[in-house]
Chain A
Amino acid sequence: MKKILVVLLSALFLYSFAFGNVATQVGSIESEINSAISSMNLSWKADLKESFVAKLETANIGDVEVIFEKLNGYIDLPDEVRERFIEYLKLSYIEEMDEFSIQGMTTTDDLMMSTFVLLEPRAVAESSFVRLEPVRDQFIHGSCWSFATVGSFESALAVQSFGMNGNVDNTFDYSERWGTYHNIDWDIYSFSPDNYVQDKNSLEGGNSYFAMYNLIRYGMMEEEYAPYSEVYLDPREEVPLPPSAYNAPLLKSSRTVMIPPSTSAAELGYSYEDYLNMIKTALSDYGSLAVSFSVPYSFNFYSKGIYSPVEGDYSTGGHAVTLVGWANATDLDDVILAGKTNPDATPILDEEIESYTYVDPTQAASPVFTTTTFWIIKNSWAYDWGDGGYFVIPAISEEQYESGQLGFWEIEGREMYLPIFDDLAHHEGDDLDVNNDGFVDTKDFEYLVEKIGSAEADVISACDISFPKDGKINGEDVAAWVFLYNNR
């Protein structure tokens, strides 16, 4: 009996020690961060809610830093993919690099690349656009990339297929679990000579680049068929799918809008205004975007305001989130993010500002930037993190766009993604008689190919029939013509 009592007391002691340890750590860290925020004159606050801290403790990991490293599960594409040169595996591998070899379905980048499309930026007049969609909870897994991808899928489906203002009423709830079942095998990807993209059931880190392609080739099932609740408390990374998944209907997207990183956009000839408008066009006309960034340590403790890093910050891993809107500086005192769970919630800022100036200590020489546009971003750490589950960061300034000076924590440093749902309804105004001879026949098909690359306004007007329109004549328009010819 005594032994049992001793064991029980020991367990209780260890539990309370662990419990107290995380909360104590959080309190101490927040105090340091808030002190730095104050000295740097920044406009945000570190103050995690008690319920969120209690959830961190259930990870059974004593070190707060390690917990957040686990949550920040976005894995960047290796340099060899982003920049197409390989120094990953040294020595004998390098000697073989000049040779191509036959590649297999499992999937290779050539097929993936042809599913990404650019978007024609339009001049967006709205100074602010806020779309507050359901905030999900990835809990203790590194599955943020699946939540960001599925969040964008739900939003895009609502906007493009039903003309709704996104998934604001939780009309659509698709399965992040299904997304993680088709994570990629990073060992195979890194070690195989041809970068095979091969599936692996894993809740660990991933990347929307691949997850978006899976929406096209596999499709997405609704939450009820493979609910995240199946894995919510399970510490394993490879949990089997529930039986309900096996005959679930799958909805496929058609293609993916890729908004290039700001430096690539500049190289492609887009102006700063075009770049911002491309993002805003995507958000307002097509749905919320899956974006990613490297997480400064202080970010994990954000509660409200305009986030930017503090002195001493460093990256604690990659994180994927969903960009849902933007706000002009003058509107920040009007926009309320936490209203859904807190009737007394207050706006992002208490007072109106014209612009915002901040120091970025993560960059060499700690440059100072001023901006008037801010991104509103949905996290997947539940409603009790941040400002009702959301956070706000400054958008890239024109000076940064021109100079390429970007902090590792800024979302413009990486690609942004958005699923496209093509259907006949999106082509109602498109005339297949592109050569205007009064007949719709194969001569129109040939005429369209002939006009590829044309910069003439009247030709673009007649031949840019793809969805979404990109202001160019290319194979996307030819494919759209074939689709419409066979289905009208």
Chain B
Amino acid sequence: MKKTLLITLLLGFLLFVSGCFKINNPPVISLTGSVSEGQEIAPMTLVTFEWEVTDFDDTEVTSEFKLYKNGAEVLSVVDTGEAVYALDEEGKYVAEVVATDSMGAQSKETISFKATNLKRELFQSGAGLMYFDYSDYFQYIEDEAFGIRFYKTASEEIVPAEEVTVRKRLNLLDTNDDGIYDTWEEIPNDRPDLQTYVYLPGYLIAYNTIWVPYGFEYGEESITAYYLGVEGPYSGYVLFYQFAEVGFDLNTVYARWIEAHVFGYTLNDYGEAYKAFALRERYDSDEKPVISLSTPDSDIGPGDSFTVGVLTENVASFADLYDVRYIQLSLWNSEGLVLESVEFGNFMSGLKDVGTFKSSDEAVTLYKAFLNGADEAEATDDVFATLTFSVPEDFEGEDIAVGLAYEGYWDTYGTYPDLPNPAFRDVDNGSVDGFIVDHEPIVFLE
């Protein structure tokens, strides 16, 4: 009887207490967007978001939407239920809605996505770091010498706060008189008379062969004319002549005009004189992720030691965008050099950097992992690793050189401690494309 009374009292007490305290549930958010979680899109995309917030406790709710790019806020709106953002730059984005009810309970919903220029370039087949300018008419050019000149597009603020696209006339200059054009000169738009042609031979006779114009190759640091052998022992071969060691910026539209005659008329009469072109890539010329070796600052000989830095320009940000978690690089060195040490710094922010290496007599492979975990305290820098070599007193080799490895054969791995070609792997262990490895060796003694 006592027990029954006790239970009844306890139940009554619980009933009383539950009436005194109301349990407040946080609001429920439904966030949708024109992009979905994990999606990769191209820049220059209008992204839209919509959200609804429901509070089952019927309290007043405020909702705040924020869009972050690489952790920095780029858009913030309150209680609108929708947001629009003209996304024009690469980066990792997070759309976030935080809802707060009148009793202070909060909830949060996010959509993470990223914008990459790779996504844009996927649909630009036919463009890249090199443009080959070919016309069937070139080989019929009748002039002893024909002229070529160039134009580029640029943005100019002609009216305040308004950028318009303009065509710039260009001249090629040979500033050091070595016979190769090395500098661009922009001509003021109101002085077209200052624009000049580069004159090239209408035909060549060399190596007992007659060569005629065939095409032009436009690169970032070169302009090359191609001549086709049409008569003689090298008929069918191509001879090329690089006449400029400056070239064209990536992702900028240029045009060329060729002043020449074919079949008694100008090339323009056949609609072939003027042509626009562009070198295209996922990055601009000054944003390339390049891995290279530091330049030596003194001569090295037997008994000396020296350091080689593996430098990375724009690599960490590019690696972060494409979620790189593993980099492997091999360097070869001249026979007889002794590897004394390898030091790794903090390269990737936000992740735990771990570096180690394995070496053989003529090569060393660097392994760098970016692991989930606390980031290092020191600041990041662009030095991937620093290697110290010594040259023995009895060194008898002819060269002292170090280079980043590239091997095109399966069977030349013998001198390397591991697979020699550079490897970049993402969070899913997939290979990441787009890094540029400068294989030009640094030479101290030759």
B328 contacts which chain A residues (CB < 8 A)? 114, 475, 478-479
Is the CB of A109 closer than 8 A to any CB of chain B?
Answer: yes
The complex places the Cα of A102 from the Cα of B289 at a distance, in Å, of 12
Produce 1/0 per residue, A445-480, CB < 8 A to B: 110011011000000000000000000001110111
Q: Is the CB of A254 within 8 A of B128?
A: no
A474 contacts which chain B residues (CB < 8 A)? 418-419
Q: Is the CB of A475 within 8 A of B125?
A: no
Is the CB of A55 closer than 8 A to any CB of chain B?
Answer: no
Q: Is the CB of B407 within 8 A of A113?
A: yes
Is the CB of B145 closer than 8 A to any CB of chain A?
Answer: no
Is the CB of A405 closer than 8 A to any CB of chain B?
Answer: no
Segment from B74-82, B168-176, B263-271, B420-428 that makes contact with A: B420-428
Is the CB of B21 closer than 8 A to any CB of chain A?
Answer: no
Q: How far is the CB of B443 from chain A (nearest CB, A)?
A: 12
Q: Is the CB of B123 within 8 A of A255?
A: no
Looking at the complex, which one of B124, B132, B365, B432 makes contact with A188 (CB distance below 8 Å)? B132
Q: Is the CB of B408 within 8 A of A103?
A: no
Name the residue in B238, B282, B409, B410 with the highest tally of chain A Cβ atoms < 10 Å from its Cβ.
B410
Q: How far is the CB of B404 from chain A (nearest CB, A)?
A: 9
The complex places the Cα of A474 from the Cα of B423 at a distance, in Å, of 12
Q: Is the CB of A105 within 8 A of B134?
A: no
Segment from B92-100, B354-362, B389-397 that makes contact with A: B354-362
B409 contacts which chain A residues (CB < 8 A)? 84
Is the CB of B129 closer than 8 A to any CB of chain A?
Answer: yes
B435 contacts which chain A residues (CB < 8 A)? 105, 111
B417 contacts which chain A residues (CB < 8 A)? 452-453
Q: How far is the CB of B106 from chain A (nearest CB, A)?
A: 30
B425 contacts which chain A residues (CB < 8 A)? 479, 482-483
Segment from B9-17, B300-308, B367-375 that makes contact with A: B367-375
Looking at the complex, which one of B239, B288, B372 makes contact with A92 (CB distance below 8 Å)? B239
Q: Is the CB of A483 within 8 A of B130?
A: no
Name the residue in B128, B132, B288 with the highest tally of chain A Cβ atoms < 10 Å from its Cβ.
B128
Asked whether A89 and B237 contact (CB < 8 A) given A185-B126, A246-B123, A268-B410, the answer is yes
Q: Is the CB of B433 within 8 A of A105?
A: yes
Looking at the complex, which one of A99, A102, A478 makes contact with B290 (CB distance below 8 Å)? A102
Q: Is the CB of B430 within 8 A of A478?
A: no
Looking at the complex, which one of A103, A105, A201, A264 makes contact with B439 (CB distance below 8 Å)? A103
Is the CB of B240 closer than 8 A to any CB of chain A?
Answer: yes
The complex places the Cα of A192 from the Cα of B127 at a distance, in Å, of 14
Q: Is the CB of B129 within 8 A of A198?
A: yes
Looking at the complex, which one of A115, A201, A260, A446 makes contact with B125 (CB distance below 8 Å)? A201
Is the CB of B234 closer than 8 A to any CB of chain A?
Answer: yes
Looking at the complex, which one of B126, B372, B431 makes contact with A254 (CB distance below 8 Å)? B431
B-side interface size class: 35 or more
Nearest residue (CB) in A for B434 is A105
Looking at the complex, which one of A102, A218, A475 makes contact with B367 (CB distance below 8 Å)? A475
B288 contacts which chain A residues (CB < 8 A)? 104-105
Is the CB of A28 closer than 8 A to any CB of chain B?
Answer: no
Nearest residue (CB) in A for B241 is A92
Q: Is the CB of A100 within 8 A of B411?
A: no
Is the CB of A348 closer than 8 A to any CB of chain B?
Answer: no
**B85-136 CB contacts (< 8 Å) to partner A:** 122-130, 132, 134
Q: Is the CB of A110 within 8 A of B418?
A: no
Looking at the complex, which one of B217, B431, B432 makes contact with A191 (CB distance below 8 Å)? B217
B372 contacts which chain A residues (CB < 8 A)? 485-486
Q: Is the CB of B369 within 8 A of A482?
A: yes
Is the CB of A91 closer than 8 A to any CB of chain B?
Answer: yes
Asked whether A114 and B440 contact (CB < 8 A) given A475-B328, A483-B429, the answer is no
**A88-121 CB contacts (< 8 Å) to partner B:** 89-93, 99-107, 109-111, 113-115, 118
Asked whether A445 and B217 contact (CB < 8 A) given A89-B237, A198-B129, the answer is no
Is the CB of B281 closer than 8 A to any CB of chain A?
Answer: yes
Is the CB of B254 closer than 8 A to any CB of chain A?
Answer: no
Q: Is the CB of A114 within 8 A of B125?
A: no
Q: Is the CB of B129 within 8 A of A196?
A: yes
Asked whether A192 and B371 contact (CB < 8 A) given A90-B234, A185-B128, the answer is no
Q: Lowest 10 A-B CB distances belong to which pairs?
A: A198-B128, A483-B429, A217-B433, A106-B128, A104-B129, A114-B421, A201-B125, A110-B406, A114-B423, A113-B421
Residues of B near any A CB (own CB < 8 A): 122-130, 132, 134, 207, 217, 219-220, 226, 234, 237-241, 281-283, 288, 290, 292, 325-326, 328, 354, 356-358, 365, 367, 369-372, 403, 406-411, 417-419, 421-425, 427-441
**19 sample A-B contacts, Cβ–Cβ < 8 Å, listed by A number:** A84-B408, A89-B238, A102-B436, A105-B288, A107-B433, A111-B421, A111-B433, A113-B407, A114-B423, A191-B217, A192-B219, A216-B430, A246-B123, A442-B371, A445-B367, A449-B356, A452-B358, A478-B369, A482-B326
Residues of A near any B CB (own CB < 8 A): 81, 84, 89-93, 99-107, 109-111, 113-115, 118, 181-183, 185, 187-188, 191-192, 196, 198-201, 213, 216-218, 238, 241, 245-246, 252-255, 260, 264, 267-268, 422-423, 442, 445-446, 449-450, 452-453, 474-476, 478-483, 485-487
